Amino acid sequence: MSTAAATLTPHATSQATSIRTITVELDRTEPKRLRLRYLLDGDIARLFVPESDAPIRTDELWKRTCCEVFLRAETGERYYEYNLAPSTRWAAYRFNGYRNDMADVEVATPVISTEVEDGRFVLSADLDMDQLPHLPGDQAWLLSLSVVIEDTDGAIAWWALTHPSPEGDFHNRASFVLTLPEAGASA
DSSP letter string over 109-138? PPEEEEEEETTEEEEEEEEE-TT-TTS-TT
Radius of gyration in angstroms for the set of CA atoms belonging to the chain, rounded to a whole number: 15
> What is the pLDDT tens value at each position of the chain, 187 positions in all?
688 999 999 999 999 999 999 999 999 989 999 999 999 999 999 999 999 999 999 999 999 999 999 999 988 889 999 999 999 999 999 999 777 778 899 999 999 999 998 889 999 999 999 999 899 999 999 999 999 999 999 999 999 999 998 887 888 888 999 999 987 655 4
For residue 64, what is the enclosing H or E element? none
Q: Residues 114, 167, 6, 67: what is their CA dihedral angle, to the nearest 10 degrees?
A: 20
Question: 174: exposed, middle or buried (C-beta count within 10 Å: 0-12, 13-18, 19+)?
Answer: exposed
Residue 102: phi and psi, rounded to 5, are: -60, 135
3-class SS of residue 175: helix
The pTM (predicted TM-score) of the whole model is 0.94
